[in-house]
Amino acid sequence: MSVVLIDGLKAAAIHNGILRIECVAVGPNGEERPSGTLLIPGHQAGAVLKALVDATQELDKRLREQAAQQQATSGNA
């Protein structure tokens, strides 16, 4: 399985029942370059997007907790 870094999305289209999302990454020169294409069957798109939203919300929660712990630790020092 390959790993794809996604810094942004360039375009999205639906063709033949497949959601196609062109992804980009920022290269070492600061310019965007293609990094891959997500191909999601249309009937699965809702579930995949919900899973991504849920994962993002969990990540945000953990980052906030970590920041609060660091702030509490630095406040006690």
Per residue in 5-54, pLDDT tens?
999 999 999 999 999 999 999 999 999 999 999 999 999 999 999 999 99
CATH number at residue 50: 2.30.31
Range 66-71 average pLDDT: 92
Look at residue 3 and tell me if it is in a domain: no
Look at residue 1 and tell me if it is in a domain: no
Q: Specify the pTM.
A: 0.76
Per residue in 9-23, pLDDT tens?
999 999 999 999 999
Supply the range of the domain harboring residue 56. Answer: 8-76
How many structural domains compose the chain? 1
Checking if the pLDDT of 68 tops 80, the result is: yes
Checking if the pLDDT of 76 tops 70, the result is: no
- The string of DSSP codes covering 4-70 is ---SEEEEEEEETTEEEEEEEEE-TTS-EEEEEEEEEEHHHHHHHHHHHHHHHHHHHHHHHHHHHHH
